[in-house]
Chains A and B, each alone.
Chain A
């Protein structure tokens, strides 16, 4: 199984809602990532988890709250978002984080978020 599964594929939420994005992998990878991608822009790194601990937070606003309950799961909790937060949210995993070679990043298909 070389898949990263993201749910939901599409999410529409109001600015006062609380919702969550979910990411799952069963490749035994110890690093997981959240990216945000706006149209015609490259993926923008948000968070990196290494061995279930948050290792990188790219100064992301607190209305985005990541969680890594176990080595296979990664959540992104959303609260009080703004319309400009509408984007494709991508999850990825890799076998390693630090070291001589991170190895290949495996991406999910993304969750398309629209904030009204």
Chain B
């Protein structure tokens, strides 16, 4: 199982770009990297998934260096509603969550 390490918390301001990094030093060849967002008292929601290089969708970008030992979730121009916990998951089927990063966006 690839263990993940993320910052416990981050603060930002509205309109800024936020980058959350996840370390996964023992990622396996077949492992994908998936990020989820969770608001209080709700189930986590899928944000983005990638295997290598860069993936972009309508809400975020995911940057993965060549060695794949880390990944960075980039949220462009955050708003107050982006305040949530963000989880990085690495694996191919066990779907265990690490501690996550609590992002607080301030006005």
Contact = CB atoms under 8 A, between A and B. Distances in A.
Contacts of A102: 32, 91-93, 95
Given A104-B49, A105-B36, A98 B97 contact: no
A70 to B, nearest CB: 21
Contacts, number: 64
Given A56-B94, A109-B43, A104 B100 contact: no
B59 to A, nearest CB: 13
User: How many A residues are at the interface, by size bracket?
Assistant: 20 to 34
If over half of B's interface residues share one DSSP class (helix, strand or loop), that class is named, otherwise mixed; here it is loop
User: How many B residues are at the interface, by size bracket?
Assistant: 20 to 34
A107 B34 CA distance: 14
Interface string B76-104: 00000000010100011111111110000
Contact of B93 (A4, A44, A99): A99
B43 A92 contact: yes
A33 interface: yes
Interface of A: 4, 31, 33, 35, 42-45, 48, 56, 88, 90, 92, 94, 96-102, 104-110, 112
Q: Which 9 residue pairs spanning A and B have beta carbons closest together?
A: A107-B43, A42-B97, A104-B46, A97-B93, A98-B93, A43-B97, A102-B93, A101-B32, A100-B30
